[in-house]
């Protein structure tokens, strides 16, 4: 039973991602997604610290409304400005926590993780943000 629960959770999560990517809930697509979810290799890592997992899940869930707000700011704001920033990683030893970090960052419009820096302790991020109000643009 201890091995069955992680297998079910992992397979369910992978199947949900498959359905989101394909946007198809037909029986054939669900069967294909189930086969893909079962055939993908599983990472054997140490148990996740519950506090770090809950923090990462909470930050990921809060990123959804933030993404909508940023999208509206980009639509109705001024000309976007490119910038590169960095952000501290949550926990680089767990693949799930790394995935949740990267998911949260790339969920926001026009933002992507470029890689790791500082020995794997920080994400390098490229983002487009709305420009300043004054703009300094000529007509």
Q: What is the pLDDT of residues 4-28, one digit of tens each?
A: 777 788 888 889 888 888 888 899 9
Q: How far apart are CA 24 and CA 70, in angstroms?
A: 28
List of E strands, 48-132:
80-88, 111-117, 122-130
46 has pLDDT over 70: no
Q: How far apart are CA 52 and CA 91, in angstroms?
A: 8
Is residue 118 within 8 Å of residue 80, measured between CB atoms? Answer: no
Is residue 104 within 8 Å of residue 113, measured between CB atoms? Answer: no
138 has pLDDT over 60: no
Please say whether the dihedral angle defined by the alpha carbons of residues 123, 107, 103 and 34, taken in this order, is positive or negative.
negative
21-25, 59-63, 107-111, 134-138: segment of lowest average pLDDT:
134-138
Residues whose CB falls within 8 Å of the CB of residue 78, separated by 6 or more in sequence, listed in order: 130, 131, 132, 133, 135, 137
Model confidence at 99, pLDDT cuts 50, 70, 90, reads: confident
Of 28 and 46, the structure prediction assigns the larger pLDDT to 28
Q: How far apart are CA 25 and CA 3, in angstroms?
A: 28
6-15, 34-43, 129-138: segment of lowest average pLDDT:
129-138
């Amino acid at each position: 039973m201890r091995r069955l629960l992680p297998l079910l959770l992992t397979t369910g999560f992978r199947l949900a991602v498959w359905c989101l990517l394909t946007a198809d809930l037909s029986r054939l697509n669900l069967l294909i997604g189930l086969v893909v979810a079962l055939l993908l290799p599983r990472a054997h890592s140490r148990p996740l610290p519950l506090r770090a997992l809950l923090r990462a899940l909470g930050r990921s869930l809060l990123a959804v409304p933030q993404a909508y707000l940023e999208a509206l700011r980009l639509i109705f704001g001024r000309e976007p400005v490119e910038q590169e920033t960095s952000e501290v990683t949550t926990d680089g030893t767990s693949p799930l926590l790394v995935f949740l970090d990267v998911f949260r960052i790339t969920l926001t419009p026009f933002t992507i993780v470029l890689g790791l820096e500082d020995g794997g302790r920080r994400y390098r991020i490229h983002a487009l943000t709305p420009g300043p109000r004054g703009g300094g643009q000529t007509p």
